[in-house]
């Protein structure tokens, strides 16, 4: 634990507030305990702090002008640069200043800069469909390095913007990053090629998916609600998406796939424009376009046809049912 409190300021811009709401659902520990454990002094948070109006502005301005130090700056939501670069799609309430100018000043004062959620990291959902509003991330505009702060930006800690991407974040992704920073144990080895914490992007969503057996035998779901693998027909990107959603449960026990709907790769830049309907797999000559990230295509096709031929009846039948009906036994076991 840091021996002096870590001053943390959280601002929101072009987003939905869902990352904060996900975060306050943190369990084991709950958010209040986590903030204590990380020895955080919350300078201001839009949903949690007492101060409003001028009191809040004074706290933010003291940081922006360098009168008060800042250890961690968290931005939730995209930086709004539109219309025409003016930033007027988000004016900071109580001022005439575009929020993007406030964000930049504060970010350049912080020891660590954390983009909370895919909007703050890359632009996210707010940048969808032509990005009429000019929504960008702190250090990326979609897949393009740069964003608001520039590709070469490093905070005083020497790290680039830490991109805790996700739509929304899992509370633990933030809590663990915070605890690591607090312990002085978050460094360049802890981030991946998109500056996301490897603690969760070191995994594929596929890892721990309860449908793995259906995947192995290419027993595919045909509708949202079916038990089978959702890769072939329902747009599931679990074999390419980087996150630990099926190892680290959401809200106690869930995940998108456990909810019987596909992974839409929400931790990746550009996920908001998949180029196809989210819940439909694009195919060329019957073969899904998005194959597992690092598997040779010919091998995938060969193994898929082989495993399809070997699919147990139990999986073939349950793949298109809304619940598992067969027991994994020799002969005909029914639940």
Partner 1 sequence: MSRLIIGPFNRVEGDLEVRLDTSADQVQRAEVTSPLYRGFERMLHAKPLPDALVYAPRICGICSVSQSVAAARALAAMDNRAIPPAGAHAINIVHAVENLADHFTHFYLFFMPDFARETYAPEPWHQAAAERFAAVKGTATRDALPARAGLMQLMGILAGKWPHTLSIQPDGSTRAITRSEKARAGVILTGFRGYLERTLFGDRLENVAALSSRDALYAWAEAQAARPSDFAHFIAISRALDLASLGRTSVPHMSFGAYPNADGHFFSRGLFRGGVGTFLDLGAIAEDVSHAWYRQGGEHGSPMHDAPPPDATREDAYSWCKAPRLGSEPVEVGALSRQLVAGHPLLRDIVRLGGASVEARIVARMLELALVVPAMERWLAAIDTDAAFIDHRPLPANGEGVGLTEAARGSLGHWLRGEKGKIDHYQIIAPTTWNFSPRDANGTPGPLEQALEGVPIRAGETEPVAVQHVVRSFDPCMVCTVH
Among positions 223-262, residues that touch partner 1 (CB under 8 A) are: 223-225, 249-262
Q: In this structure, what DSSP letter does residue 118 have?
A: H
From the list 108-116, 188-196, 275-283, 308-316, the region that binds partner 1 by CB under 8 A is: 275-283
Q: Which of residues 100-129 bind partner 1 (CB under 8 A)?
A: 125-126, 128-129
Sequence length of the chain is: 335
Query: Quick one: which of 8, 14, 116, 164 contacts partner 1 (CB under 8 A)?
Result: 14
From the list 51-59, 148-156, 202-210, 289-297, the region that binds partner 1 by CB under 8 A is: 51-59
Q: Which of residues 158-177 bind partner 1 (CB under 8 A)?
A: 167-168
Is there binding between residue 64 and partner 1 (CB under 8 A)? no
Residue of 150, 125, 151, 147 lying closest to 136 (CA atoms): 147
Is there binding between residue 3 and partner 1 (CB under 8 A)? no
Is there binding between residue 148 and partner 1 (CB under 8 A)? no
Query: Quick one: which of 48, 291, 304, 326 contacts partner 1 (CB under 8 A)?
Result: 48
Secondary structure of residue 101 in the 3-state scheme? helix
Buried b (16+ CB within 10 A) or exposed e, 155-194: bebebbbbbbbbbbbbbbbbbbbbbbbbeeebeeebbeeb
CB of 306 to partner 1, least distance (A): 30
Secondary structure of residue 115 in the 3-state scheme? strand
Query: Quick one: which of 5, 37, 39, 42 contacts partner 1 (CB under 8 A)?
Result: 42
Is there binding between residue 209 and partner 1 (CB under 8 A)? no
Number of residues counted as binding partner 1 (CB under 8 A)? 80
Of residues 69 and 259, the one with the C-beta less far from partner 1? 259
Are 103 and 75 in contact by the 8 Å Cβ rule? The answer is: yes
Strands 110-116 and 70-76: parallel
CA torsion, points 139, 165, 74, 147, in degrees to nearest 10? 10
């Amino acid at each position: 634990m840091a021996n002096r409190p870590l001053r943390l300021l959280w601002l929101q811009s072009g987003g939905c507030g869902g990352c904060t709401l996900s975060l306050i659902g943190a369990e084991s520990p709950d958010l209040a305990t986590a903030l204590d454990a990380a020895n955080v002094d919350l300078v201001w948070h839009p949903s949690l702090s007492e101060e409003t109006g001028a009191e809040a502005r004074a706290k933010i301005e003291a940081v922006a002008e360098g009168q008060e130090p800042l250890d961690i700056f968290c931005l939730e939501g995209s930086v709004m640069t539109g219309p025409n670069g003016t930033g007027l799609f988000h004016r900071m309430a109580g001022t005439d200043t575009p929020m993007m100018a406030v964000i930049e000043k504060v970010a350049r004062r912080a020891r660590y800069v954390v983009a909370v959620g895919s909007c703050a990291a890359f632009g996210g959902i707010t940048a969808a469909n032509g990005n009429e509003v000019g929504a960008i991330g702190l250090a990326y505009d979609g897949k393009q390095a740069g964003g608001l702060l520039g590709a070469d930006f490093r905070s005083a800690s020497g790290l680039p913007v830490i991109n805790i991407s996700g739509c929304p974040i899992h509370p633990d992704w933030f809590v663990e990053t915070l605890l690591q920073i607090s312990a002085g144990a978050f460094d360049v080895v802890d981030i991946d090629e998109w500056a996301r914490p490897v603690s969760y992007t070191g995994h594929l969503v596929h890892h721990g998916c309860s449908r793995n057996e259906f995947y192995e035998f290419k027993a595919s779901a045909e509708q949202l609600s079916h038990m089978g693998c959702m890769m072939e027909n329902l747009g599931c990107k679990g074999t390419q998406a980087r996150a630990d959603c099926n190892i680290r449960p959401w809200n106690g026990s869930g995940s998108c796939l456990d909810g019987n709907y596909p992974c839409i790769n929400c931790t990746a830049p550009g996920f908001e424009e998949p180029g196809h309907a989210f819940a439909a797999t694009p195919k060329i000559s019957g073969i899904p376009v998005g194959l597992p990230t690092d598997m040779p295509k010919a091998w995938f096709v060969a193994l898929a046809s082989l495993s399809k031929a070997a699919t147990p009846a139990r999986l073939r039948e349950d793949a298109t049912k809304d619940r598992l009906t067969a027991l994994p036994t020799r002969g005909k076991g029914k639940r």
